Amino acid sequence: PVSAQTAAPAKKWNFLTDVYLMFPNMDGEMGKGDLLSVPVDANPGDIFSKLKMAAMLYVEAKTGKWAVTSDLVYMNLTQVVTPGTLFHSGQITAKEFIWEPAGFYRILPFCEVGIGGRLTSLATDIDVRRNVFPGTEEVTASGSKTWFDPVIITRLIADINDKWLFQFRGDVGGFGIGSDLTWQLQAYAGYRFGKVFQLTAGYRILSIDYDKGIDEERFVYNIETFGPVLRFGFNF
């Protein structure tokens, strides 16, 4: 008898680690308790001049049809309140942690669909002077909140000659489970310089609309964060 031994092909996993920077703009409002929501409108210069700490890390593992990703963002910043009709002066301090785990399945060579989540943890301190006739009054508030939003994701990917990289990602979620609504758009173009290192640049928009509780328990975070992104990637 003739016997033959054929080894089953092992699944090959590829790993990507991205350390990245975002040059953010913020627009929206924040509030705690019965304090009127304080408007936030900051550009990259405002944020980086007040930025105390920022860390951003993306990790992806993929094989064939499947991919698993993790995206971590942490920012600690202080924003001065722009004088207006309601508020005379003051500042807002916010510590923000966001973790986005996700899983994807490739349905076409260039298209993946996935499900995941966005865990958001915020700690805010508000110290402002509110306009009251005939002068102003000091109002302070602080609070923290953590919630999880399920999200549905679509990702389009193109890899040309294993050198030029293009990606578009969109997601939507919340649905009242955590936030009322959250959505995100990301678009990137990059170049792989060798087997290990790649450089990617793009743009990211993240919107979170969270408004829960009443009276003293009310917590408002209705913010869009958007701006260019620069990513330094390492493949293994």
**Distance in angstroms between the alpha carbons of the first and the last residue of the chain:** 43
Beta partners for 48? none
Residue 200 CA: distances (Å) to CA of 168, 195, 208: 12, 15, 25
| Per-residue pLDDT reduced to its tens digit, 53-65 | 678 999 999 998 9
- Residue partners of 194: CB distance under 8 A and separation at least 6: none
26-35 pLDDT, tens digit per residue, is 888 888 876 6
Q: CA-CA distance, 219 to 180, in Å (whole number)?
A: 12
pLDDT digits (tens, 9 = 90+) for 80-129: 777 777 777 788 888 899 999 999 999 999 999 999 999 999 998 888 88
Average pLDDT, the chain: 88
Q: How far apart are CA 182 and CA 172, in angstroms?
A: 6
- The structure's pTM equals 0.86
Q: What pLDDT, in 10s, does the model give residues 151-176?
A: 999 999 999 988 999 999 999 999 99
Cβ atoms of 46 and 79 closer than 8 Å: yes
- Counted residue by residue, the chain has a size of 236
Say how far apart CA 210 and CA 126 lie, in whole Å: 17
